[in-house]
């Protein structure tokens, strides 16, 4: 495991963006300054928030190192917050200043999921990841 990387510029753009967004989301979740981290802490507890943030970092490292487990972990850790977002939206939709924070967090989150599940990302990892 000595060939693990934090970033690989030879990956397709969708996977490069995925790695960076996984790191950014993990940073915001672990610091507790994003709307998604708030949702995770409120609905699932601080331990789940830490686990999701850690899984995002490991997923980013795995993707940068061209590992299938990294791609799978990245996708799973990116999709876990979706459950809590849907649950939140069924209870209470944000308004006022909370709406801007919500929209910014959701925009990063949607970009992350879209980049990970993009056809080019899926094909590249299927062919080139071990």
> Which one is predicted more confidently, 23 or 81?
23
- Distance of CA 98 to CAs 9, 68, 107, Å? 36, 37, 14
Between 1 and 38, the higher pLDDT residue: 38
Please state the pTM of the whole predicted model: 0.89
Close Cβ partners of 6 (under 8 Å, ≥ 6 residues apart)? 60, 61, 64
The angle, 0 to 180 degrees and rounded to 10, between the axes of the packed helices 97-117 and 119-128 is 40
Sign of CA dihedral 107, 47, 62, 26: positive
6-33 pLDDT, tens digit per residue, is 999 999 999 999 999 999 999 999 998 8
Average pLDDT over residues 53-70: 96
Domain boundaries, the chain: 13-124
Report pLDDT for 91. 76
């Amino acid at each position: 495991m000595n060939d693990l990387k934090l970033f690989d510029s030879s990956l397709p753009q969708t996977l490069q963006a995925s790695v960076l967004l996984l790191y950014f989301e993990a940073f915001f979740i672990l610091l507790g300054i994003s709307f998604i981290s708030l949702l995770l802490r409120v609905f699932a507890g601080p331990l789940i928030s830490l686990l999701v943030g850690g899984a995002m970092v490991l997923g980013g490292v795995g993707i940068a190192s061209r590992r299938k487990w990294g791609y799978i972990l990245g996708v799973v850790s990116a999709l876990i917050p979706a459950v809590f977002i849907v649950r939140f939206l069924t209870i209470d939709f944000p308004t006022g200043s909370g709406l801007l924070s919500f929209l910014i967090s959701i925009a990063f989150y949607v970009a992350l999921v879209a980049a990970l599940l993009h056809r080019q990302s899926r094909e590249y990892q299927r062919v080139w990841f071990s």
